[in-house]
Amino acid sequence: MQSKIIRFIGFCIILVCGCFTVHESKAASVERIITAEGFEIWYLRELSVPVISLSIGFRGGSASDPIGKEGLSYFATNLLDEGAGKMDSQSFQKKVTDNAIHLNFIPGRDITSISLRTLSQNRKEAFKLMGLALTQPRFDKEAKERVREQILSKIATGEKQPNSVAIKSWYKAMLGDHPFSRPLEGNTKSILSIQKKDLEDFIRGRFAQDNIFIGASGDVEPEEIASLVDSALKTLPSNSLSFSLPEVKFNLEPHFDVINLDIPQSIAVFGFPGIPRVHKDFYAAYVMNYILGGSGFTSRLYKEVREKRGLAYSVYSYLHTLDSIGLIVGGVATRNDAMSNSIDIIKKELSLMAKNGITKEELSSAKRAITGSFPLKFDTSSSVAQILLSMQFQGLNHDYLERRNSYIENITVTDVRSIAKQLLNQNKMVTVIVGSPKGLTSYK
């Protein structure tokens, strides 16, 4: 990497981290800005639209909520725009909406994120409001009780929706009691027990300068982004409170669970333990999954289950990575009398992939498709900001954008076969079906 260091009269440092050639005409530079207050921002400048997007993440999400207070991070996150500083909920929301600011708080299992999108002309107000939300949330009683009701309602609804029941049960079966298996929003009992002090403790514990990741894109000079971030976040405490998660113990046996519900179409979630984002074989697994069930209309699962047999509208698989672990998750929805057949076909495809891997032709097509589609991820400023945040959170280098396609290009047929054999092991497969699938019963 050829980095240049530019100093702006002692205020901030900008490292140009290589040119990412999204643009043929003008190579876009991912800049690494160190602000005067010491915040690091990864920034991709984009002048063509009058919009600025910022993504902020703090390490720690629902998995690190205290026992008995599950859903705390979800609750706190959803209250951040319900009053801050001297403004109550109504005044804060009025400022946000009157300035057409899009401020979203996104709870996660291992990260808590904030996404800000503003018209350039309203940037000062937007950053100010975001800063207030992160540093001086009020947790007023009215807002707190109203949002508590909303979360309780969501929990109650989720317990009855087949999709939500299927995915929650799948996580539980795959990860056991590990906190990664918890629903983001907690449970009725834990949400009822959360007090104002818990919410304040969460903010104090996570929202700190040593625990923050920032990605940004938009129509503004890098020096100005630096000063906007500084003025919004400089009062964040320096240090977060540390937390630790137990080691993940994946399910290691075949697990097949049918949850009976009287609906016309059964919903299945299936999958395996995977590998973390920074694992050396991640890209081999990525290519494998692309061919298996990740490539939409051209994947093997789509061809076999939908296109050849008409058994489902939706069938897919994806890699899901959390802080230290990875998962392979798939799904299919099929009429009750055909679910058994769909599952057999999927299992056969999983076996074939585990046994034979992929062909040279499949590999070369997949490489061309995956590398060629990379620019599509950069077509809105908010997705760019989010990518720049994720890169930091996932421990990727700042030259990732230029190098990513070469990681894909380097994958061989042998790499894919070997990771497929390792990962698609049906002795570790967890399947959960919600519905009334004909001829299928639980075994575990």
Partner 1 sequence: MTLIRFCLILCSLIFLHSSQSYCEDIKNSTFNATYHQLDNGMNIVTIPNRRSPIVVHMVWYHIGAGDDPIGKSGLSHLLEHLMFKGTNNFPDDTFSRLVALNGGRENAFTSSDYTGYFQRISKQYLPLVMELEADRMRNLSLTEDDVLLERDIVLEERSSRVSNVPSSILMEQMYRALFLRHPYGTPVIGWENEIKELNLHDVLTFYNKYYFPNNATLVVAGDIDVEDVLTLAKQHYGSIQPSEIEERIRLKEPKHVSPRRVLFKSPQLAQPSIFRFYLAPSYVSEDRSYSFPLEVFSEVLGGKITSILYQEMVVKRKLATWAGTSYNPMSLDNTTFAIYLSLKEKVSISEAEIALDEIIAESLKDGFEDSRIKAAKGRMAANLLYSLDNPSGVAKIFGSALSIGMSVNDVENWSKKIDSVTADEIMNAANYVLNADKSVTGILIPEKENYNAIKNN
Task: Report the C-alpha gap between 53 and 116 in whole angstroms.
Answer: 6
Closest CB to partner 1 among residues 182, 325: 182
Q: Which residues pair with 58 in a beta bridge?
A: 112, 212
35 torsion bin: left (phi>0), alpha (psi -120 to 50), beta (else): beta
What's the min distance (Å) between Cβ of 244 and partner 1? 29
Q: Is 316 in the site for partner 1 (CB under 8 A)?
A: no
Closest CB to partner 1 among residues 310, 439: 310
3-state helix, strand, coil in the chain (%, to 5): 45, 25, 30
What's the min distance (Å) between Cβ of 108 and partner 1? 15
What's the min distance (Å) between Cβ of 37 and partner 1? 28
What's the min distance (Å) between Cβ of 235 and partner 1? 23
What's the min distance (Å) between Cβ of 233 and partner 1? 21
What's the min distance (Å) between Cβ of 74 and partner 1? 9
| DSSP track, 32-54 | EEE-TT--EEEEEE--SSSEEEE
Q: Is 406 in the site for partner 1 (CB under 8 A)?
A: no
Judged by CB under 8 A, the chain residues 333 through 352 that form the site for partner 1 are 333-335
**Whose CA is closest to 126, among 117, 137, 134, 135?**
117
Judged by CB under 8 A, the chain residues 240 through 259 that form the site for partner 1 are 257, 259
Judged by CB under 8 A, the chain residues 14 through 53 that form the site for partner 1 are 22-25, 46, 48-51, 53
Count of residues that bind partner 1 according to CB under 8 A? 83
Closest CB to partner 1 among residues 335, 403: 335
Helix (H, G, I), strand (E, B) or coil at 310: coil
* Angle formed at CA 160 by CA 159 and CA 161, multiple of 5 degrees: 105
Task: Report the C-alpha gap between 285 and 418 in whole angstroms.
Answer: 9
Q: Is 102 in the site for partner 1 (CB under 8 A)?
A: yes
Task: Report the C-alpha gap between 120 and 220 in whole angstroms.
Answer: 7
Closest CB to partner 1 among residues 226, 333: 333
What's the min distance (Å) between Cβ of 331 and partner 1? 11
Closest CB to partner 1 among residues 105, 180: 105
Asked whether the beta carbons of 292 and 300 are under 8 A apart, the reply is: yes
Closest CB to partner 1 among residues 254, 276: 254
Closest CB to partner 1 among residues 66, 162: 162
Q: Is 188 in the site for partner 1 (CB under 8 A)?
A: no
Q: Is 373 in the site for partner 1 (CB under 8 A)?
A: yes
| Largest CA-CA distance found in the chain, in angstroms, rounded | 73
Q: Is 70 in the site for partner 1 (CB under 8 A)?
A: no
Write the CB contacts of 39 (distance below 8 Å, at least 6 apart in sequence). Answer: 209, 212, 214, 226, 229, 230, 233
Task: Report the C-alpha gap between 113 and 59 in whole angstroms.
Answer: 9
Q: Is 365 in the site for partner 1 (CB under 8 A)?
A: yes
Beta strands in 274-383 (DSSP E): 315-321, 326-335
Judged by CB under 8 A, the chain residues 146 through 165 that form the site for partner 1 are 146-147, 149-154, 156-157, 159-162, 165
What's the min distance (Å) between Cβ of 271 and partner 1? 19
